[in-house]
Chains A and B, each alone.
Chain A
Amino acid sequence: MTTSEMTGRPDGVVLGITDFREESKGERHSLIGAKDFYVYYGDSAAVDSVSFDIPEGLVTAVIGPSGCGKSTFLRAINRMNDLIPSCHVRGELALEGQDLYSPQVDVVSLRRMVGMVFQKPNPFPKSIFDNIAYGPKIHGVTNRRQIGEIVEKSLKQAALWEEVKDRLDDNALGLSGGQQQRMCIARAIAVNPKVLLMDEPASALDPRSTSRIEDLISELRGEYTIVIVTHNMQQAARVSDLTAFFYEGKLIEFGETKQIFTKPGEKQTEDYITGRFG
């Protein structure tokens, strides 16, 4: 990875792929593509032969009952599952046509392109500034002024700037839960990713903080490709353009959110959405 790639907008060649963001304004171009993709924990398949394309610039919700493999699928996209020793994959999962699991892929640059927000806010026990600056620093930004700008911009994007601008040096653990989660979003976008993965980002928060997070997701739509896993069906309906329904590791249905929630094509989807199981 060269310095210019680390510092600037990721418009250059990253992962050996050209960025199509600017050219593809009109039609939606597929950014993440899964083809016959499996994730195993030991011998059991948590994600079972999943194939679908996630388009660029939209918000895609992944819903399904607990244990359906939706989180596992999400964590496969930035290879966080690598941390689990028994986990391995089969099939193809590609980002901009590049197979994420091919040996040439540099996990570090992949994770820089694919940011993640976790279920529980997980700030580092450092200052707010250091939390946001952590990512850019890893990727080689050393200029203090530049880091300051990135921190400010990220916090503004995460709609947190006004609340914390006077106490950037305070420990991030002193923020409220909702603020912490928005700070984690700011931290994720500080490295300028293309994709933001959100693993039930509001499930540990109170209703007001939840709605702020949802507003934030809507604001970030277009700028980033967002994949959000959620238990909350209303949330999926409110924030997403597309919805994928997972059940027992399989992708049951994938389509526009409006269509999924009004005229689901599959019986299982309908049962789940109407609350008959799950």
Chain B
Amino acid sequence: MELKTRKMLDRSFTTIGIFAILLMAVSLVILLQPIIWRGAGAFIFRETIENRKLNLEIFGRGNRANVEVQVTEAEAARKPVYDMMAEFEREMEEGGPSFRRQYRSEYSELRDMISELLGPFPGEGDPVLIRDRYGHTRWDRANVKLHRILFVEEYDYSDPNRMGVKVEKPRADLFESTSIEPLFGYLEENLERMMLPSVTFYWRFLFDRSYDAHFFGGIWPEMLGTFYLALGAMLFAVPLGIVTAMYLAEYAGEGRFVSLLRTCISSLAGVPSIVFGLFGLAFFINTMKIANGKSVLAGSLTLAFLVLPTVIRASEEAILAVPRTYKEASMSLGAGKWHTIISVILPAALPGILTSIIISLGRAAGETAPIIFTAAVSVGRPLAIWQTLSQPSPALSWNIYNLATEHEAVDEIRHVQYGMVLTLVAMVLLLNLAAIIIRARISRKLRG
């Protein structure tokens, strides 16, 4: 090969490498940007007066005098709305049966929507659910709600050759030339005065437990659950994995049984995680009955089985990568095999073993399928350590899925879901960062 060709090849490989790295960096940014941006919405948002009221009444937070002044202000701005509604109700009363029939269902829909936006009407009793006791707590959601009050969604099927087209008709048209017609204009113009939005930083999102199925409050039980599950999994998988790796690398030799064992471990790594979940349910809960139903312990054990192959393989590689000369030196000084492994080989293999732990930790924290049947519930209290032995817990990964698909009001709690995603990503990154720092410190010590 000519020098020129070789140089060109070199250069093109370098270019491809740099390109690949750049591509990864860009995808990372594209991936993380919405996670961070939307996730931040759970922490920093424009709250309405309803949120301040809720914080004062449910959590006892905030300045009572200030909030009361603002509530009075907002109530003054809302009064015309209620007046107009009372006026219209009177009109319906007096308008005769055909008038009532015409407007009854439309008005009842409007009334419900206004109650959702502004909270219960004055003089009504306290509803059971917290979400019904207050109007919209977030300004962005309040605006969405207002839009729904102002416009009716309809589909236009007039052209038989096309799919129905969504059109938005002003709701005011439904109530043309009645006493309530001005209400819509008033709402549109005065929403800000009625809701008094202001920017808030809700850092307690991390440490509050959730109220009313994640409508309000935070994600502390979920974070704690994820933490317990991941750490619990490591607690089982790491010692077991390292001992197994040690056996395979130093004691097992090359028998047929051992190679069968290795094949089993490799195949275990390829089993879908949902199968591990079912296994955990069948084995730990139904057969072993380690707790009365789902528990964090069962989930941790299931996750431990899931990450065990990774820990074993990576640790074995790390142990095998330790120079033979260390072993020889130790043996020649009269150390037994066991002592050599513990005091020379394992410390030298530690950075590699830590890498396997880092990978598994991230996986254990993020896996959803194995904990669906074994550990996760959608709402729960934060658990104390000993309660993990017998009680299930919510966990970030499962609750992200749950809020995204199974929650009764997906749109209303979307911000909680994004907040959870951000928290999970941050948690895994932080755990990894800690392990990476420890690993770097150990490698530096080993290298001298």
Known: A85-B253, A120-B325, A125-B347. A80 touches B447 (CB 8 A): no
Kindly identify, within residues 328 to 355 of chain B, every residue whose CB is under 8 Å from any CB belonging to chain A: 328-336, 339, 343-344, 347-348
**Contact indicator B328/A124 (Cβ below 8 Å):** no
**Contact indicator A138/B329 (Cβ below 8 Å):** no
**Contact indicator A125/B331 (Cβ below 8 Å):** no
- Confirm or deny: A221 has a beta carbon within 8 angstroms of a beta carbon on chain B: no
Residues of B within 8 A of A134 (CB): 330, 333, 335, 343
**Contact indicator A139/B445 (Cβ below 8 Å):** no
Residues of B within 8 A of A116 (CB): 332
Residues of B within 8 A of A110 (CB): 334
Which residue of B343, B447, B448 has the most chain A CB atoms within 10 A of its CB atom?
Answer: B448
- Confirm or deny: B326 has a beta carbon within 8 angstroms of a beta carbon on chain A: yes
Known: A109-B334, A138-B339. A172 touches B448 (CB 8 A): yes
**Contact indicator B448/A170 (Cβ below 8 Å):** yes
**Complex CA distance for A141 and B318, rounded to whole angstroms:** 31
A205 to chain B, nearest CB (A): 15
B116 to chain A, nearest CB (A): 66
**Contact indicator B332/A80 (Cβ below 8 Å):** yes
**Complex CA distance for A111 and B327, rounded to whole angstroms:** 14
- Confirm or deny: B446 has a beta carbon within 8 angstroms of a beta carbon on chain A: yes
> In chain B, what residue has the closest Cβ to A138?
B335
By size class, the interface of chain B is 20 to 34
**Complex CA distance for A125 and B345, rounded to whole angstroms:** 10
Known: A115-B332, A134-B343, A188-B332. A122 touches B325 (CB 8 A): yes
- If over half of B's interface residues share one DSSP class (helix, strand or loop), that class is named, otherwise mixed; here it is helix
Residues of A within 8 A of B333 (CB): 111-112, 115, 134-135, 138, 187-188, 191
Known: A125-B347, A171-B446. A108 touches B336 (CB 8 A): yes
**Complex CA distance for A110 and B333, rounded to whole angstroms:** 10
- Confirm or deny: B164 has a beta carbon within 8 angstroms of a beta carbon on chain A: no
**Contact indicator A138/B334 (Cβ below 8 Å):** yes
**Complex CA distance for A172 and B329, rounded to whole angstroms:** 14
- Confirm or deny: A83 has a beta carbon within 8 angstroms of a beta carbon on chain B: yes
Residues of A within 8 A of B62 (CB): none
- Confirm or deny: A67 has a beta carbon within 8 angstroms of a beta carbon on chain B: no
**Contact indicator A80/B326 (Cβ below 8 Å):** no
- Confirm or deny: B182 has a beta carbon within 8 angstroms of a beta carbon on chain A: no
User: What mask results when residues 25 to 54 of chain B are scored 1 for a CB within 8 Å of chain A, else 0?
Assistant: 000000000000000000000000000000
- Confirm or deny: B239 has a beta carbon within 8 angstroms of a beta carbon on chain A: no
In-complex Cβ contact of A174 among B330, B335, B448 (8 A): B448
> In chain B, what residue has the closest Cβ to A120?
B325
B444 to chain A, nearest CB (A): 9
In-complex Cβ contact of A135 among B253, B334, B446, B447 (8 A): B334
> In chain A, what residue has the closest Cβ to B329?
A122
Kindly identify, within residues 201 to 242 of chain B, every residue whose CB is under 8 Å from any CB belonging to chain A: none
**Complex CA distance for A85 and B255, rounded to whole angstroms:** 13
**Complex CA distance for A110 and B331, rounded to whole angstroms:** 11
**Complex CA distance for A174 and B347, rounded to whole angstroms:** 18
Kindly identify, within residues 66 to 99 of chain B, every residue whose CB is under 8 Å from any CB belonging to chain A: none
User: What mask results when residues 103 to 127 of chain A are scored 1 for a CB within 8 Å of chain B, else 0?
Assistant: 0000111111001101010111110
**Contact indicator B329/A124 (Cβ below 8 Å):** yes
Kindly identify, within residues 151 to 175 of chain A, every residue whose CB is under 8 Å from any CB belonging to chain B: 170-174
- Confirm or deny: B323 has a beta carbon within 8 angstroms of a beta carbon on chain A: yes
**Contact indicator A118/B325 (Cβ below 8 Å):** yes
**Complex CA distance for A107 and B339, rounded to whole angstroms:** 14
Kindly identify, within residues 412 to 448 of chain B, every residue whose CB is under 8 Å from any CB belonging to chain A: 445-448
A130 to chain B, nearest CB (A): 10
**Complex CA distance for A146 and B448, rounded to whole angstroms:** 26
**Complex CA distance for A108 and B330, rounded to whole angstroms:** 11
**Complex CA distance for A174 and B325, rounded to whole angstroms:** 17
Which residue of B326, B329, B331, B446 has the most chain A CB atoms within 10 A of its CB atom?
Answer: B329
**Contact indicator B445/A171 (Cβ below 8 Å):** yes
Known: A125-B347, A125-B348, A134-B343. A111 touches B334 (CB 8 A): yes
> In chain A, what residue has the closest Cβ to B348?
A125
Residues of B within 8 A of A171 (CB): 445-448
> In chain A, what residue has the closest Cβ to B344?
A124
In-complex Cβ contact of A108 among B327, B334, B448 (8 A): B334
**Contact indicator A118/B328 (Cβ below 8 Å):** yes
**Contact indicator B448/A78 (Cβ below 8 Å):** no
**Complex CA distance for A76 and B105, rounded to whole angstroms:** 100
- Confirm or deny: A54 has a beta carbon within 8 angstroms of a beta carbon on chain B: no
Kindly identify, within residues 88 to 116 of chain A, every residue whose CB is under 8 Å from any CB belonging to chain B: 107-112, 115-116
List 19 interface pairs A-B (beta carbons < 8 Å), by A numbering.
Answer: A80-B328, A80-B332, A83-B327, A85-B253, A109-B334, A110-B334, A115-B333, A118-B325, A122-B325, A124-B329, A124-B330, A125-B348, A125-B447, A135-B334, A138-B333, A173-B448, A188-B332, A188-B333, A191-B334
Q: Contacts A112-B333, A125-B445 given; 13 further ones with Cβ under 8 A?
A: A85-B253, A111-B331, A112-B334, A118-B328, A118-B332, A120-B325, A122-B326, A122-B329, A124-B326, A124-B330, A125-B447, A125-B448, A134-B333
Q: Which residues of B contact A (CB under 8 A)?
A: 253, 323, 325-336, 339, 343-344, 347-348, 445-448
Q: Which residues of A contact B (CB under 8 A)?
A: 78, 80, 83, 85, 107-112, 115-116, 118, 120, 122-126, 134-135, 138-139, 170-174, 184, 187-188, 191
Pairs A-B, 6 closest by C-beta atoms: A171-B448, A122-B325, A173-B448, A116-B332, A174-B448, A125-B446
